[in-house]
Amino acid sequence: MATAHELPDTADLTADRFRSMSGASIGARDLPPPSGAGLPPGPGWPVLVQSAALMRFRHWFHPYLQRTYGDVFTVRLIPGGRPLVFFTRPEHAREIFAGDPEVFHAGKGNAILGPIMGRHSLLLQDSMEHKRARKLLMPAFNGQALKGYRELVSQLAADEAEHWPDGATFRSLDRMNALTLEVILRVVFGVTDADRLAAMRPLVNATVDISPVVLLGWGYPWLQRMGPWKRTVDTQAALDRLIHAEIRERRTAPDLVERTDVLSRLIRAGADEGEQPLSDTELRDQLVTLLLAGHETTATSLAWALRELGQHPDLLRRSQEAARGTGPDGPTTEDDAWLEAVMKESMRLHPVIPMVVRTLMEPATIGGVDLPAGTTVGPSIIVAHQRPENHPEPDAFRPERFLGQNPPTNTWIPFGGGVRRCIGAGFAQMEGVAVLREVLARWDVAAVGPEEPKVRNITSVPKRGALVRVTRQ
């Protein structure tokens, strides 16, 4: 492995990414500013206030807008006051997810993430670029690959759970974040060197733990020279050096063909089909995307799941039985299904991501509403998961909603939908089941104190860290 002074100089790559992926035109290149005429109603507040409310107070703001303006409403965002039109009914979500991907561009809708994820990120690509990247990434997340990852995920989860002190009270979010980060670094990145792992962990945590104010600030590139924006750029430059070093070393690893981590699979991707392989920059962007999309999101859902089980002794007992296994040879398919239902209900009741967005490249009609090109549209995950007609008793934690069935289509959408559905959805659910099994097979869990969501970057997390007390069984 390269020593610190041998790390590649990637400062220019980082600077170019921030220069090209931020600014007043972020997410709106080559699009005319849509007229406000004919758009659905929405608040008349200043654009900055609407943007702050959407980013910082989303759990109040989404339901407030739906109650005030109905099932379709418009919010205007910085920079430039571009409209974001929310839809809240499942039939609306179906139209958006089924929309022509040449018209409904998800990449432009996610452009606020560009300075961190990079232009080659699967979340930011559209059209043929997205189709090519998804084809190359898919084999690393198919069913056979997931089976290969499960054993290492279980080992990491068992090691984490074994080291908890009996009777301790702690922030489950912190422990789940530490665990899912280790899963990403070892299973996805394939990093095993202790020094590099130690160097990457704090940089990844700093990347994840940023304020919504920093994200909004990408619209004003001059901010990158000061305060938290400069610190974010510096963090990314340091992380880029480590990731590029890992990529370059992995390409020449003598055991590359035998390695099963996601990075090694992506380096080999396309070779047998004659596809153009992913470049170092493309690999970096996809790895950071998988890191940000699959680390904190899964950790947060696990923390909420442990807290909810800690408030419902009957559900905890049933989950512990499933974790230990109810069959003569250990856990059964039904046991896995119950633990998966716990994870799914955690994602429903406590959505980590608030919305799924697309930017219209041409005029389109959704739910009978005619919308001009340049408008960003999307289902509100927060509202969809709270509607009682979608989920009876929506404030109750009821995993049985997902046992042997799923809620009606487009009423549970934590992974989006259509051709842009999250490529890591299967990985996240496999990881969630594996972690719950290792934790609940060892520990009784009790929730401690009140809890509510708060916004961190684009995600929502438990404000107090989902405090739990664990007692060894």
Q: Tell me the average pLDDT of the chain.
A: 91
Most confidently modeled range among 228-232, 272-276, 464-468: 464-468
- The CA distance from 32 to 38, in Å, is 16
Is a pLDDT exceeding 70 seen at residue 27?
A: no
- Mean pLDDT (whole number) for 255-262: 95
Please check the confidence at residue 2 and state whether its pLDDT lies above 50: no
Q: Report the distance separating Cα 377 and Cα 97, nearest Å.
A: 11
Looking at the chain, the whole-number percentage of residues with pLDDT higher than 70 is 95
Find residue 82's DSSP bridge partners.
77
pLDDT value for 162: 97
404 vs 271, which has greater pLDDT? Answer: 404
Cis? peptide before 212, omega within 30° of 0:
no
Looking at the chain, the whole-number percentage of residues with pLDDT higher than 90 is 75
Look at residue 260 in the predicted model and tell me its pLDDT.
Answer: 94
Structure tokens of 349?
Answer: 């009741």
User: Do 106 and 358 touch, CB atoms closer than 8 A?
Assistant: yes
Q: What is the pLDDT of residues 377-418, one digit of tens each?
A: 999 999 999 999 999 999 999 999 999 888 899 999 999 999
pLDDT value at residue 35: 63
pLDDT at 31 (0 to 100): 64
Model confidence band, residue 36 (pLDDT cutoffs 50, 70, 90):
low
Tell me the torsion sign for CA atoms 14, 20, 25, 30. Answer: negative
Reported as a pLDDT band with limits 50, 70 and 90, residue 32 is low
Which region among 162-166, 348-352, 454-458 has the lowest average model confidence (pLDDT)?
A: 454-458
- Domain of residue 151 covers 4-472
- The closest of 470, 456, 450 to 212, measured between CA atoms, is 456
DSSP-derived letter for residue 185 is I
Confidence of residue 44 (pLDDT cuts 50, 70, 90): very high
Q: Which two tokens stand for residue 224?
A: 């990158």
pLDDT at 4: 43
**Averaged pLDDT, 228-247:** 92
- The b-or-e profile of 272-306 (16+ CB within 10 A means b, else e) is eeeeeebebbbbbbbbbbbbbbbbbbbbbbbbbbb
Q: What is the mean pLDDT of residues 245-260?
A: 95
Residue 16's identity, in one-letter code, is D
Tell me the per-residue pLDDT of 69-81, one tens digit each, with 9 for 90 and over.
999 999 998 877 8
When pLDDT is cut at 50, 70 and 90, the band that residue 5 belongs to is: very low
If one counts the domains in the chain, the total is: 1
Query: What mean pLDDT do residues 255-269 have?
Result: 94
- Chain centroid offset of residue 136 CA: 20
Most confident of the following: 37-46, 54-63, 117-126, 304-313: 304-313
Least confident of 93-97, 227-231, 239-243, 339-343: 227-231
The answer to whether residues 408 and 93 touch, using CB atoms and an 8 Å cutoff, is no
Which CATH number does the domain housing residue 362 bear?
1.10.630.10
pLDDT beyond 50 at 24:
no
